[in-house]
Structure 1
Amino acid sequence: MVRNILFSASVASAALCAPAYAQSSGDRQVETAAAGQRGPEIIVTAPFQQSEEDVLQGTSVVTGEELQRQLRPSIGETLARQPGVSATSFGPTASRPILRGFQGERIRILTDGIGSIDVSNTSVDHAPVINPLLADRVEILRGPAALLFGSSAIGGVVNVIDTRIPRSVPEKGYRLNGMANYGSAANERSIAGAADVAVGGKLVLHADGSYLKTDDLKIPGFVLSRSARAQALATSQLPPPDAEEGEEAIDFAGNAALRNRLPNSASETWTAGVGASIVTETGSLGISYSHYDSLYGVPVRYATRYGQEQEAPRLDLAQDRVDLRAEVETGGGFLDRIRLRAGYADYRHFELEESGEVGTAFYNKGLEGRLELVQADRGGWKGASGVQYYNRRFDVEGEEAFLPKNRTGQFGVFTLQQVNLGAFRAEGGLRYERSELTSDVLSDDLRFFSGKRSYDAISGSLGGSVAVRPGIRFGINVSRTERAPSAEELFANGAHAGTQAYELGSPNFRLEKSWGVEATMHAVGEGFHLDASAYYNWFSNYISENQVDQSVCESAAAPSGREADLPCFQFQQADARYYGFEADASVQLAEIRGYRVNLDLLGDYVHASIVDQGPVPRIPPARVLGGLEAQGEQFTARAEVEHVFVQDRVTAFETPTDDYTMVNASVAFSPWGKSNPTTLLVSANNIFDVAARRHSSFLKDFAPLAGRDIRVSLRFGF
């Protein structure tokens, strides 16, 4: 199940530097099954393992049966019911997590502690190269706590941890884990498996693979929202230019009545990977290779100028990736251990037109590495320091290339220090990062683009907590972060077919800076727990992408002779304010014939504004979710109700989003008990087939969420 804990800002950020825990059900510590009860240890992927009483701020760990129940084709939809988390929902496949209202460049998605090295941060229609089917564990680190991991992670970090590089020698000499799933809403069929074999006592070989195929998503009611249908029907009364007798307008009026299926949302994805590790008593060295291949559709924006329907593009995506992980214990002294983590990926995707021809091609080659020195615990003082390097070469080719060829290089130095004085604990973190961004292709207006930008960013955090009584701890953390603009925010200037928008950046952007304050509470006792946090962030030079008047993009396109006939979205920089809270509580109500009956409740809210302008676009509304769960050794039954409130704090080019309530239920059967991973799970999601749209989605008026979805999942391991 999801375990929400309070963690220190710096610990959480360093957490993903180098995951440090035992893997697989047979080798790792197992969290207690009861929502209202917790074991003394929570596994946190940090340089030094933490118990739940040692950490300050909120994180979520999703694993085991909870991960199986929430599993969806995309990592965004898989995590969308966690505290403080929403999703971009650009169709069921291209859905990226949103943390505390932050997305894109302010969220880092990691594979086992290293970036996914794709282009999902550049646009919401680009799917993250993350395979939830093979995930052993997912950690969600919310808020600016991840500054030690990177300045671009101010909103938080999602770390998806698999077993591709083995961390331990199988006790039986082998390990085998698998999963098969079916979902009725999209006729989803998927299967995945991973195997480890020990050779000679210290060498462990690994192989894994997965396959997923979905049809167009079933939805309740209309494809278009009420406002989009009204716009479509109103526009259809006006004959478009060069159309005889309004034929195109008549066709478009028919689109307003589309219902029951989300067109162009089908997908097919397969992956394969191999790995090997040498594991000794004092360290390990491992390497892996993986391939990811996906073909998926992007839902269409139907309501456009002149009432003309846009094309239905598909994305053909592939990535080849090599990863390295090493760890060695030093044998004592000031340092306890040294860790190295690195990854290289060659990525490309083609945006295919309806004819099957390649309209735009995206190429991305990236390298990321971290070296970390972990200090030994000396009388309650411990820490970790290290360096991080990142390099990306990104190229977009085609008639609708919205971004020139560019390179990004980053070098960071960081340290984290923690002091434990018993009831009082304190932590501090510091990071320096140098970023250089170069654009190889200049615009026709050479006064506008210089081609190269350099930034020096310094970020830091300081936090402390005090235990007012056993099991109850209050904390406060203060952070100062600086973030360099991305190449997309600096150099974008063109039509992007996937998002059906003309995107425009500015190479004159300065460092984005913010102050953040977060107060936390963590309470745990016999049969209950409560985690809560409240935060406030002050931004200067905040970068946001907003829909603006069409004339802005027409002026930018004019020097090159291009057309700007898509909706105009411009990156802008201004001051901004974010504040909100999230809370998660659980209590054991009773124990009946060996079944623990637990009641849990979570809620989150975020308020974001650009100073002197109005709301930040696409901010998730307030939400509450309550669940009742009966847990036994072999059976678990759960029912939950999620209510998402109306969002009417909108920009001039947004439409309000209605509230909705979803009811879900599930039953899980573990024939050999909870200590064995074999589980058959049947769930019914959105039981009453409620029409729902996420306000955080660019496509919320054209792509509703799934209707009633009956899912069957079999997970096994031995």
Structure 2
Amino acid sequence: MKVLKRSVVATAVLLVISNQASFAHQTLDAVVVTANPLGSDINDLVAPVSVLRGDELAKKQSSTLGETLNHLPGISSTNFGPNSSRPVVRGLDGDRVRIMNNGGASLDVSSLSADHAVAIDPLLVEQIEVVRGPAALQYGGSAIGGAVNIIDNRIPRSPINGVDGRAEFRAGGPEMERAGAALLNTGNGQLAIHADAAYRKTDNLRIPGNVLRSDAIKEGSKLLNSNSDQQSGSVGASATSEHGYAGLSLDTYRNDYGTSLFENGSPTRIKMQQDRVTFAAEQRSLDGKLGLISSLHGSISHTDYKHDELVGSAIEATFKNKGWEGHFGGTLVPVNTAFGQLKGAWGIQASSSQLRMTGDAPLVPNADTNTRALYIFEELSFSKDSAVNLGARVEDVRIKGIAGNGSDGDASVGEKKFKPFSTSLGYRQGLNSLWTATSNFSYTERAPTYYELFSNGLHHATGMHEIGDPNQKMEKGITLDLALTYKTAESKTRLGAFVTEFSNFIGLMPQLVSDEYRFEGIKARLYGLEADGRFPLLKGVFAKAGQIDLSWKADYVRGENRTTGGSLPRIAPLRLDASLIYTEGRYSSQLDVRYAASQNRYDDSLGATPSYTMVGVGASYKTVIQGFKSAYWFVRVDNLTNEVARNASSVMRDVAMVGSRSLRAGLRASF
């Protein structure tokens, strides 16, 4: 079996480096993303950005955001079991990766602990954008590692005439998921209304291997206490025109899930709820009406978040986080100069949140966090194929620890003030009609979080006693990104390399006392390679319109603790992916192979992770059914060889593993 797996991987790699065919079957659509303040097409960006939408998003959707994005280049996941997983970008996670909804912060507490789920349901998402590398310029210092922007249509942004929407149902998988969602949009060209609802229920995860951690229990092939029950929904309305919109949305999220762990024989579970209200508006095509202003946009949202952590039926701890975030900005009228056309964008942002935690010996004291920020971004286009951009951001961050909830960190509370500054310089140069080179240099500062400053207690999810440092300095790093992109109407390849040098990296470092860890400033370096692409291999296969394409991905990240000479913890190993995709008209099928090398560089007590090879197959079909405009059927078999696969970037890698061989099917219909 091992020989077979290695042969499959070798074949996939050889296909990746083979000559690209020149014939066309399907053209690659242009994708406009919000990751650039100017709203550029993804092919014109300097920063490395990945986008999931449409059918590709439907196929990759999982019960968690981290697992939905786990197959993108440079992205792994925290994977604290099947119910809680945040994305890890180039080896960085937690508050270094900013997760947003329509550009606004998600004020849950998922960055505090890996067992805290992100309060977002991927089933209701229209598009997900992932910025790899520092995205602090537009999104703040907490995006020193990257940013994930989840885009939906809860506030309609363009006129709607009549009624449209979609419904979706999926079932199966190793967790026996039963999930469904429905979205409805209606309007008269001036007033647009949106409503959506989703649910998801899962059973205990079926796994192929043994559970190693003592506080996790396996019964037969199932990991106990890993089931979930989730609901979400929203209503929104906006006044729309061809040049803008102004609207309001109300949304809610509920999740009751098991952490896969037990405490004193009782299952530990989390019951989560979040309610949010958002106002957003945009006015486009203002050229000449407000001087140099070309467009204006803004939003403000208020979030009320709470979750209870239960041991059996008793509440062990309660987390509450209330707050608001707002931003206002715009783009400038392009100006023709002697060197080329100059375009610009600017924005101001502010946020405030109040964390309150109760329970027996809380990990952190109560804390208030307030931020204010201003950014500017300018791009000078020398020609259609050549441009340079420059941006800067200044912030004011104030974090106040508040005594009174019984935390051992109460003794060190007080108000801490930081003024992070970030800047970036990027260049894009078309080499010819097919190849484009990009480079991006950035300097980023990140203010430490409340838990890096004030935590002092046992973190039940990890089994570590974590201690903060109230005298913590700002995190500082410089990053260089280089990339080559090849693009035709029917194929695309991107080859990239990066290095980030931290003069001060806030790491959770082991101490001489067993299970004691402290947040300390160290010198660190992360570097790696990323590559991905898709191109046609054969056409006229089985039928005149039949074609086989190859989609592939490779990434590698290395994290070094330059203070001790060791490695940074939880870094994903070398990964290689290849998919052979057969399409004929409305039908598509594919064979996927993913190889992950062993990870023998680690800096925690969980040890190394062995290599693995995962194989999956899938098929989809687009058709028309009565009462709907279109229908998209899909079916997948994952982990075909029932491989035991552990995630090197997970703090639960001795428990959380990929589910066993499983079948998943679904239907998404639009009307």
Same fold, TM-score > 0.5, yes or no: yes
- Secondary structure in 2 aligned to 1:300? strand
State yes or no: 1:431 paired with 2:393.
yes
2:457 pairs with 463, 484, 494, which one? 494
The superposition leaves residues 12-34 of structure 1 with CA deviations (integer Å, 9 ceiling, x where unpaired) of xxxxxxxxxxxxxxxxxxxxxx9
**Mapping of 1:47-446 within 5 angstroms?**
47-171=37-161, 173-199=162-188, 201-224=189-212, 260-300=221-261, 311-329=266-284, 331-333=286-288, 334-354=292-312, 356-379=313-336, 380-422=341-383, 423-441=385-403
Cα distance, 1:50 vs structure 2:
2.4
Q: Deviations over 1:414-448 (max 9, x none)?
A: 01101111132100110001100001117999996
The answer for the alignment partner of 1:576 in structure 2 is 524
2:433 matched residue in structure 1: 470
1:511 maps to 474
Residue 270 of structure 1 and its aligned partner are, at CA, apart by 0.4
Superposed CA offset, 1:298-335 (max 9, x none): 12279xxxxxx665310000011001110013631321
Q: Residue 144 of structure 1 aligns to a residue in which SS?
A: coil
Q: Residue 67 of structure 1 aligns to which amino acid in structure 2?
A: L
- Give 2:614's match in structure 1, choosing from 662, 684, 689: 662
- Write the deviation string for residues 339-383 of structure 1: whole angstroms up to 9, x where unpaired: 0022110000000111x1111000000211110121122232111
1:451 matched to 2:451? The reply is: no
Unaligned runs of 5+ in 1: 1-33, 233-251, 303-308, 552-566
| 1:541 Cα deviation after fit | 1.9
Q: Secondary structure at the match of 1:41?
A: coil
8 Å CA contact retained: 1:684, 1:709: yes
Q: Cα–Cα, structure 1 residues 537 and 97, in superposed 2: closer, same or farther, change >3 Å?
A: same
The AA in structure 1 aligned to 2:528 is G
Q: Do the aligned residues in 1 keep the contact of 2:408 with 2:456 (CA within 8 Å)? A: no
Residue 604 in structure 1 maps to residue 555 in structure 2: yes
CA shift for structure 1 position 179: 0.8
SS in 2 for 1:43: coil
Residues 36/692 of structure 1: CA separation in 2 closer, same or farther (3 Å cut):
farther
Write the distance in 1 (CA, Å) between the matches of 2:536 and 2:136: 32
Letter in 2 for 1:281: E
Q: Distance in 2 between matches of 1:485 and 1:35?
A: 50
Amino acid at match of 1:530: T
Moved more, 366-375 or 258-267: 258-267
SS in 2 for 1:615: coil
Deviation at 1:262, TM superposition (A): 1.1
Q: 1:375 to 1:39 in 2, by over 3 A?
A: farther
User: More displaced, 525-534 or 412-421?
Assistant: 525-534
Give the aligned partner of residue 248 of structure 1: none
Residues of 2 paired with 1:594 and 1:64: CA distance?
22
- How far 1:535 moved relative to its partner? 0.6
Equivalent residues of 1:36, 1:598 under 8 A apart: no
User: CA 1:378 to 1:480, structure 2 compared with 1: closer, same or farther past 3 Å?
Assistant: same
Correspondence for 2:567 among 615, 632, 641: 615
Give the Cα separation in 2 of the matches to 1:503 and 1:95: 21
Q: Secondary structure at the match of 1:550?
A: coil
Give aligned-pair identity as a percent: 32
Aligned residues: CA RMSD: 2.2
Closer, same or farther in 2 for the Cα pair 1:114/1:413, shift >3 Å? same
Contact map agreement 2:42 2:49 (CA 8 A) in 1? no
Structure 2 residue aligned with 1:29: none
Provide the TM-score with structure 1 as the length reference. Answer: 0.85
617, 631, 639: which is aligned to 2:583? Answer: 631
Deviations 1:617-640 (A, max 9, x none): 111111000010012331111111
Alignment partners' CA distance in 2, 1:408 and 1:310: 37
Q: Distance in 1 between matches of 2:646 and 2:376?
A: 42
Q: Could you say if the C-alpha distance between residues 444 and 168 of structure 1 is closer, same or farther in structure 2, counting changes exceeding 3 Å?
A: closer
Three-state SS of the structure 2 residue aligned to 1:147 is helix
| Alignment partners' CA distance in 1, 2:475 and 2:173 | 44
- 2:670 maps to what in 1? 717
The separation in 2 between residues aligned to 1:191 and 1:344, in whole angstroms, is 27
Q: Is the 8 A contact 1:202 1:280 kept in 2?
A: yes
Give 1:256 shift: 8.2
Distance in 2, Cα, partners of 1:59 & 1:118? 24
Whole-Å separation in 2 of the counterparts to 1:676 and 1:84: 36
Q: Residues 695-714 of structure 1 correspond to what in structure 2 (within 5 A)?
A: 695-714=648-667
The letter of the residue matching 1:335 is I
1:480 deviates by: 0.5
Given that 2:606 and 2:654 are in contact with CA atoms closer than 8 Å, whether structure 1 keeps it comes out as no
Q: Verify the 8 A CA contact 1:646 1:659 in the aligned structure 2.
A: yes
User: Residue type of the partner of 1:607?
Assistant: R
What secondary structure sits across from 1:704 in the alignment?
A: coil
- 2: CA distance, partners of 1:311 / 1:620: 32
Tell me if structure 1 keeps the 8 A contact 2:578–2:592.
Answer: yes
Letter in 2 for 1:462: L
Unaligned segments of structure 2, at least 5 residues: 1-22
Count residues with an aligned counterpart: 633
> What is the Cα deviation at residue 288 of structure 1?
0.3
Alpha-carbon distance change, 445 to 687 in structure 1, aligned in 2, over 3 angstroms:
closer
Partner of 1:17: none
- State the AA in 2 paired with 1:43: V
Contact in 1 for aligned 2:179/2:199 (Cα 8 Å): yes
Judged with a 3 Å threshold, the aligned counterparts in structure 2 of structure 1 residues 713 and 413 are, in CA distance, closer, same or farther, namely: same
Q: Is the 8 A contact 1:400 1:497 kept in 2?
A: no
Closer, same or farther: CA 256–635 of 1 in aligned 2, 3 Å = closer
Q: For residue 585 of structure 1, what is the aligned residue in structure 2?
A: 533
Among 501, 505, 519, which residue is 1:538 paired with? Answer: 501
- Equivalent position SS for 2:420: strand
